[in-house]
Amino acid sequence: MVSDTIIVKQLADGRFQWWGYGEGSLTGEGSLDTLAGLIGSRAVTLLVDGFEVTVERVEFTAPERRHVLKTVDYLLEEQLIEDVESLHIVHADLQDTSIVLGVVSRQYFAVLLAQFEEHNIALAAVLPEPLALPFRDQSLTLAVDQSCCQLRYGVNLAATVDRSVAVYYLSQLLEQQSYHSIVCYGEEDDALLAELAAVSDETDDWQQRPLSQLRDGLPMASELNLLQGEYSPSVDWASIWSRWKLPAAIAACALLANLAVVGSQISAVNGKLAALDQQEETLFKEVFPRGRYTGSARRRFESELKGAGGGSGPFVPLLATIAEPISKDKTVTIKSLSYEASSREVSTSIVADKFSQLEKLVAEAEERGLQAELLSSNNRDGKVAARMKFKEL
């Protein structure tokens, strides 16, 4: 952050609070209409409620590093309750075998940003609120008020937790890493501060400061800007939000879901649609139990898909192209498959014995004129499970 930056956060009553650093800084609260008239040429950084954002360092293997920036949306997939497609996931601090991820609901984020777009307020950065706490290397910063406890324990690592679990959360952090100093901001008569100090007794430098000093110094900047991907400053936030408001978006999702069901049934024969007549007939009856099989699976699939409103388009040729390299390796198995008609992409879940088999599959698919991406991979029961995406160039 720079000294002429305005920091903005939304209050519980829907209004906004803002402040700055250095001489001539703005301090106040009110509506975005009021703020818009005060900004001038200053950069604006929005702080998002820490309860709405999850920040975590995720580890991966060295071979996965070459693909990790393409697969960040799926690194936390098994740990999240929500559908990964409903989440906005950003990254920072890529290391040899780890990366920091920030996760926020797409709908929540779009609604928040649309308010600033409506008032023509351009945002330079959007950060989880605890990443605006003061911070020094090898230190840990706490800010405790009557609603929550915020912790910043790295340049890009932070969390907001309920007061009831603050002592436990801090103790877990201290078990994982030692800190040269801990700085705790809070009210002197708050009993929770004494409890936090007690679990930090092995830290040489414990400093307690009043909340009134929290914004005295310019905090160390964080790289975990939530304005990444489709929410980057060049994107029209209002148009993104409009997708959530239109009933047509719900209908489109339903149509894609239906096509995905059809695709997953097709994967029952490992993508070998044209292999044997018996396999074709079995697959057809699984996908379209009420359909009449006439001996040509390809024509009947095209007919049934058109009847469902999707049309076969490039789907069958694309599936056949994907199946060819996969069928050559008997140790590679397709667990599921879905087809997205709007982008003409096939997404698959694949299990292989080795990671090198997946890389070979990507290379062979590209040789056949497809765009192939390895979205994610992890080890399961001695095998490698992965998600891949294929698309015609």
pLDDT in tens, 190-229: 999 999 999 998 888 999 999 988 888 777 788 999 999 8
pLDDT bin (cut points 50, 70, 90) of residue 309 is: very low
Q: Has residue 26 been placed in a domain?
A: no
Q: What was the pLDDT predicted at 310?
A: 46
Asked if the structure places residue 62 within a domain, the reply is no
pLDDT above 60 (res 183): yes
Q: Would 258 be classed as within a structural domain? A: yes
pLDDT per residue as tens digits for the range 246-287: 554 565 566 456 555 555 555 554 555 445 555 555 555 544
Backbone phi and psi for residue 366, each to the nearest 5 degrees, phi listed first: -65, -35
Domains of the chain: total? 1
269 found inside a domain: yes
What pLDDT, on the 0 to 100 scale, is given for residue 299? 56
The pLDDT of residue 386 is: 85
Which residues contact residue 21 at a Cβ distance below 8 angstroms, ignoring those fewer than 6 apart?
1, 3, 5, 215, 217, 218
Whether residue 376 lies inside any domain: the answer is yes
Domain with 335 in it: 247-392
Q: How distant, in Å, are the alpha carbons of 96, 105, 260 from that of 289? A: 50, 38, 17
Is 239 among the domain residues?
no
Report d(CA 292, CA 7) in Å as an integer: 64
In a domain, 340, yes or no: yes
pLDDT in tens, 18-36: 998 766 678 899 999 999 9
Q: Which of 128, 119, 125 shows the shortest CA–CA distance to 35? A: 119
307 closest CA partner among 287, 323, 322: 287
- Whether residue 293 is contained in a domain is answered as yes
Highest mean pLDDT among 197-206, 323-332, 338-347 belongs to: 197-206
CATH at residue 335: 3.30.1360.100
